[in-house]
Every structure is written in C-alpha cells, then in structure tokens.
Amino acid sequence: MKKVLQRCAQALGTQIAYYQADGKLLAVSAADMAAPERITLAEDVPLGEWVPYGGGGLLALGPAQGRGGYLWLEDAGRLNRANAALLAALIPLARTGGGNERPDTEGLYRDIFFGRLQSVEVMELCKALHIVPQAERCVALCRVADQTLASAKRILSSIFPKGKQDQLLELDAQTLALVHTFRQDSKEELIEALLATADTLQAELDIRPVLSLSGNCGQIAELEQALRQARQAMEVGTRIDPGQAVHVYERLALELYLYQVPQAVSLDFLQRVAPQGGGKGLDEEMRQTIQKFFQNNLNVSETARQMYLHRNTLVYRLDKLQKLTGLDLRRFDDAVTFKIMMTLGSFLN
C-alpha cells in the first residue's frame, strides 16, 4: 500500500495519506509528512468528490469489496478531476491486492499495533502470510538511547531470530517491539530470556535498557491491546522501580490500578496514613531492604540470607522503619498499607 502511495505522490508532486472509512489513518507516502492523525467529518463527502481539509484536500473513495476510505493530499492544488478519478481507482485496487504488493509479517504486526486494519483484513493477510491467527502471543518492548537503537536491534535479533516464533520491529527512535509466539516455551522462560537480554545490552553497549512485557493474547488482532499493556507496564514500572530491568504487566496489577487513582484521592490517603511524610526520609539502603523484604514475602530469615545480613541487623532496620512510619512490615496489613503508600507517593513525585 505504501509503495502505491509513494508512486502516486511522486507522479502528482505532493504527499498522500490514506484513511479507512471510519477516518483512521492507514498509510502515508512519507513518514515525516504532516497528515492528520484521524479524519473527522460533520457530513459525508460524495464518492469521487474532494473537499478542503486540514490544510490539504480530502478525496472520498468508492467502495472496494464493501470498504471505502479517504485520501488526503498535502497540496490540494494538485487534486484536479483527472487525478481524483485516477486515485479513486488505484488506491482501493491496491488495498484488495490488485497493486501486486507482497504482504510482509512486519507490516502486518505494525498495522495491527496502530489499529490500521479491520478484522477481515487481518484474517486475509494472515492467510496470505501463512500465519496462524489463533495462537498464544505477547509483546515485549525494549527502550534504549536513540543512538544505540541499531546496535540494540542487532543484539536482539541474534537472541530472538526472525521466524515464525519471533518478529522484531522498530516503533520509534528509541523503542523496539518483539512479538513472541509461544510454542513449547513458557512465560517464565521468556522473562528469563529478557533479563539475560538486558544484561547483554548493558555489557555490550554500556547502557541501561528498559524492557517490559505484556499479558498474553490468544488472537493476533489483540496485539494492539498487548502493545498498550507493554507500554503501561514500562511507564508504571519505571516509576515505582527504576532499577528493575524487565517490567511484567501481570506482576503490576496493584500498581496499574493505583496509577488510575485521582491525585486528590491519593493525597488524602497519604495524609491519613502518613501525616509525617511516611517514607520520604528513607535512604537507598532502607529502600533496597524493603524491596527485598517484599520480594521474599515478608520472610525475615530469607531476606537476611539474600542480602548477606545478620538476622538481627534486618530486624533493627524493620524496627527503625516502624518508628519512622508507624507501620510494622512484618504484619501483613501494615505491609499492604506501606506498599500502597509508597506506590502512590512515587506516582505523585
């Protein structure tokens, strides 16, 4: 589709964007063109006619196998009757396969990510690409500094080689997306692989990448939702635990819920449970101790062992925290209150 738009744009001397019937952007002739994100019309445009829109010209296309759509031209002066008739015939033809463009897996995933395809189109492309639409999949994101994206992509491609199970693509100048299809492997194995990937990126590129992982989806069309989950996990996870290499959506259920709490409600809660500021005065050592204590399900002995501390040293730190906040983390109710307090505080900060 993009190639057809590029050829038309070159012939007409203006950039072109293509929208589906509901106004959603499907394709553009140039990535840097200033096309509207979505077409919103007060009334329908007659088929084959064009109207001024968004600083350019908008052309309504005829239906193609039950689908219509719009073309937006950056330079409306190029849109005369002859050109409009030609475009109205070419573009729907390309969408139904007459443009002789070979579909590719990366393009399919990208179009699903950004909601550019209707369900029937997804199924048609899956059939053409020999992709099973009903399979367990998830989306992983990797964010790095923009100058290291190419090197990071090379490393990830070696760890997750392109094939029926993995597809890697660039989302923007700092973010890579991995679509993983589960075969015999498990979610925990994938998480371990992502943790190893983070270590490899840090060692080879001297960077601290941030990775996130969505929940699983059973239909390929649900990858758009999986991408949103991975983005939410990265946004929320980096706020509450910036030192964590991989943020997993399913492990952030409480945090994702609290992230939606209005600021006024959060402030009211913090003022009631921590009128003296709660954990604001905690140093890094204490924060690491609390984090490890939670990771070990409030088990004092196991936490002390993993931190190479004497048990009494850990007990002293928990007692010190209790004096500071009034909460004893060895009690489940106090631990939950403290967890909520710290999470809300990190979002407000």
Map tokens 């992982």 to a residue. 213
Same-domain pairing of 165 and 304: no
Q: Are residues 141 and 205 in the same domain?
A: yes
Structure tokens at 322: 């209790």
Pick from 111, 95, 141: which is nearest to 224 by CA? 111
End-to-end, the C-alpha distance of the chain in Å comes to 45
Q: State yes or no: pLDDT of 89 exceeds 80.
A: no
Cα dihedral 185, 190, 191, 197 sign: positive
- CA gap 342, 333 in Å, rounded: 14
The pLDDT of residue 83 is 63
Number of domains in the chain: 3
Q: Are residues 187 and 239 in the same domain?
A: yes
Q: How do strand 175-181 and strand 56-64 relate by DSSP bridges?
A: unpaired
Name which residue leads in pLDDT, 6 or 266.
266
Residue 99, pLDDT > 60, answer: no
Residue of 133, 129, 155, 128 whose CA lies nearest to 144: 155
Query: Considering 95, 122, 141, which residue would you say is the last residue of a domain?
Result: 95
Tell me the HSE value of 25 on the side-chain side, using a 13 A CA sphere: 17
pLDDT at 231 over 90: yes
Q: Which of 223, 256, 289 corresponds to the end of one domain?
A: 256
Q: Is residue 100 situated within a structural domain? A: no
pLDDT in tens, 324-345: 888 999 999 999 999 999 899 8
pTM: 0.68
Sole residue written with tokens 């029926």? 164
Q: What is the CATH number of the domain that holds 115?
A: 3.30.70.270
Rounded Cα distance between 95 and 267, Å, is: 52
Amino acid at 147: Q
Kindly state the percentage of the chain with pLDDT values over 70.
85
| 119 and 168 share one domain | yes
Q: Please give the Cα distance from 45 to 114 (Å, whole number).
A: 25
Regarding predicted confidence, which is higher, 79 or 289?
Answer: 289
224 pLDDT higher than 60: yes
Same-domain status, 114 and 152 = yes
Q: Which residues, including other chains, have CB under 8 Å from residue 307's CB and lie 6 or more apart? A: 288, 289, 292, 314
What pLDDT score was predicted for residue 279? 61
Q: Tokens 């004096």: give the residue.
A: 323
Of 153 and 19, the structure prediction assigns the larger pLDDT to 153
Residue 50 belongs to domain spanning: 2-95
pLDDT-based confidence at residue 97 (cuts at 50, 70, 90): very low
pLDDT above 70: residue 276: no
Q: Which of 68, 95, 122 is the last residue of a domain?
A: 95
CATH code of the domain covering residue 278: 1.10.10.2840
- 258-268 pLDDT tens trace: 999 999 999 99
